[in-house]
A = this chain, B = another copy of it.
Amino acid sequence: MCAPGCVEHVRSKLSRRGFFKGAGALAAAATAAAWGPGEAEAQTFPRFSRVADLTHTHSPEFPTFFGTPGVTLKRLKEIKADGFNMFEWTVLEHSGTHIDAPIHFAASGDGPDTLPASQLVVPLAVIDVRERAVANPDYQVTPSDLRRWERRYGRLPRGCCVAMNSGWAKHVASDRFAGKDAQGVLHFPGFHPEATDWLMKERRVRGIAVDTLSLDFGASKDFKTHYAWLPSGRWGLECVANLERVPARGATLVVGAPKIRGATGGPTRVLALI
């Protein structure tokens, strides 16, 4: 079934950005036939009275997937000498609490600058897999984790972000966060490709979020979750903090993604309205 406006949406995407060219084209087209992640979800967001900051403080010491500093600051102005303070930053695009835009793992598609603002403010669903991750640092969120959440909290809200709370955020200052072993293999939880497949086919979800360094689990050799999810036009958030401070259902996520032309992601202020 193609929802109202879907064909027009696909057509405009095709003509405007060549969205479905290249890697992931077939997967994206198949998904769009069910629901285009760029399709508007008319909805009213609830009142809120509290803001939770789901963002880690970024710094040169913050762990990165690549093992190199994610951000460095060079002082350009100093208040005593110049009357004000100002720095220049060098930023590794995929570091800190950050967004993976579709174009990060696709030949074409939206960057953080072209994702519509309506896709950056979405209902938040938090999947708690902390107990499983304690027992197994290679744990991957499965479709049955998602179904278990739905049995308790109801169907995943339309256009939501599904966040994995693996408890990994608390390891951010230690080597356990990346979990590199003697062979150089990383060990931390992520989304199993079967879970993201299920989300793409069975539900209307805009984004996924993890409290670890990657949407795929650390030991992944093929980045299957990245290659399926991002080229479909959906986004991901990595290194999210403080997920234990938000309810499993009912919060609204605000993704303060950088609006830099041509970027493929970037450090992002992530807030939850509760």
Which residues of A come within 8 Å of B, CB atoms?
Answer: 22-23, 42-53, 55-59, 71, 73, 76, 79-80, 83-94, 96-97, 103-107, 113, 116-118, 120-121, 223, 226, 254-269, 271, 273
Contacts and interface: CB of A to CB of B under 8 A. Distances in A.
A43 B47 contact: no
Nearest to A113: B57
Given A45-B47, A57-B259, A90 B93 contact: no
5 contacts: A52-B117, A58-B258, A71-B260, A120-B269, A254-B254
How many monomers of this chain does the complex have? 2
B91 A104 contact: no
A92 B88 contact: yes
Ranked 4 nearest A-B pairs via Cβ:
A256-B256, A53-B117, A256-B269, A59-B261
A121 B22 CA distance: 39
Given A51-B118, A79-B23, A254-B254, A104 B90 contact: no
A47 B49 contact: no
Given A79-B107, A258-B258, 12 more contacts: A45-B273, A46-B47, A47-B47, A52-B117, A53-B117, A79-B105, A84-B264, A85-B104, A87-B263, A88-B92, A120-B271, A121-B271
Contacts of A266: 89
B89 A93 contact: yes
A135 B42 CA distance: 40
A50 B50 CA distance: 19
Contacts of A90: 88-91
Contact of A262 (B52, B87, B113, B117): B87
B106 A79 contact: yes
Contact of A269 (B57, B91, B92, B259): B259
Given A45-B47, A256-B257, A271-B117, A104 B84 contact: yes
Contacts of A51: 117-118, 120-121
A185 to B, nearest CB: 18
Contact of A256 (B96, B107, B226, B268): B268
Contacts of A254: 121, 254, 256, 271
